[in-house]
A and B are shown apart, each in its own frame.
Chain A
């Protein structure tokens, strides 16, 4: 059982890391602010989500697991809000900013 959980952790965290890698590549390769936000959003939301999901079987106690999930939700909230604000500022500044 514990081996199965360990394998689940490794697979899930590795998948999360892959999203972070893809997000970083997107940040470097995509042409403008809006597509940069798109790339980072994937890394933050799905990447961190998968890392948290993978770590859940490894924590001891319900409270520690809930804390991990709470961290993910707060990062989601902050990421979504900041993305909107950056996008709005970029649109106001015009396409050449």
Chain B
């Protein structure tokens, strides 16, 4: 029975992936991609990777979907022309051969791997007690492989700088995205008033529960950022100009706190990001709490887009 459900999910994933690639209309392809992300989240649940499933649904499906829809809206003017173009047969053939080759090579490598995959799970299970957190994913992300998480948070900042640098010169430092004007008595404004209180509770809950159960700051921050974006789209809130000093300070505060804790570890525990005995849980909470606002701002502003209006 379970095998049938799993096979169904796998088939649907493959079918949806092919459909998404084959769709000519950009918007339709994005809808396919978002559905693919949600389906992939189901596949992760089936594999008991609930943490990954949450991240996939929030970031792979939700946040990336918003980014792609924004990009599609900007490309709409040129879409008909680019759809009408048809590359010459040799180009299409070469692309098909190369893409097919990569897929075949990947399949070969994955299928030829003999024996069980190498795993560090037993060592995580043996040492998780030292970290004070109960969710092994959180223990890996913030204790055993904290360096990766630090770099991830910094990469997000770079992504935001990349988005901002799409602004034309005279709008640099201005407010991101277009000003949304929604009917103040309309359904969007109503939803933007009703949903955020719930969403904020859920976002903080997922953030806090991450210590013991699936959840954590990335998933929580995505939900909080989505609530912010909803309020922006309903015209109830506006994104701050990106030149604001408090904004920039808040954006770097999280990663800076993470680096500070890491640097302190050199002196106290003898290694960068080393936690002293007994303080691991407290320091992990400090890092998580410091990262959350920075992540919410970063994710929200990435979704809001490049500056398109003057700061006034």
Residues of chain A at the chain B interface (Cβ within 8 Å): 74, 77-78, 81, 84-85, 88
Interface residue B195 (Cβ < 8 Å from any Cβ of A): yes
Could you tell me the distance between the alpha carbons of A88 and B195 in the complex, rounded to whole angstroms? 20
User: Other than the known A78-B191, A81-B187, what 13 A-B pairs have Cβ atoms closer than 8 Å?
Assistant: A74-B195, A74-B198, A77-B191, A77-B194, A77-B195, A78-B195, A81-B188, A81-B190, A81-B191, A84-B187, A85-B187, A85-B188, A88-B187
B150 to chain A: closest CB distance in Å?
A: 33
Chain A's closest residue to B195 (CB) is: A77
B34 to chain A: closest CB distance in Å?
A: 13
A95 to chain B: closest CB distance in Å?
A: 20
A88 surroundings in chain B (CB, below 8 A): 187
B198 surroundings in chain A (CB, below 8 A): 74
B191 surroundings in chain A (CB, below 8 A): 77-78, 81
B194 surroundings in chain A (CB, below 8 A): 77
Interface string of B178-193 (1 = CB under 8 A from A): 0000000001101100
Could you tell me the distance between the alpha carbons of A73 and B284 in the complex, rounded to whole angstroms? 34
B183 to chain A: closest CB distance in Å?
A: 9
Could you tell me the distance between the alpha carbons of A85 and B195 in the complex, rounded to whole angstroms? 16
B98 to chain A: closest CB distance in Å?
A: 36
B170 to chain A: closest CB distance in Å?
A: 32
A81 surroundings in chain B (CB, below 8 A): 187-188, 190-191
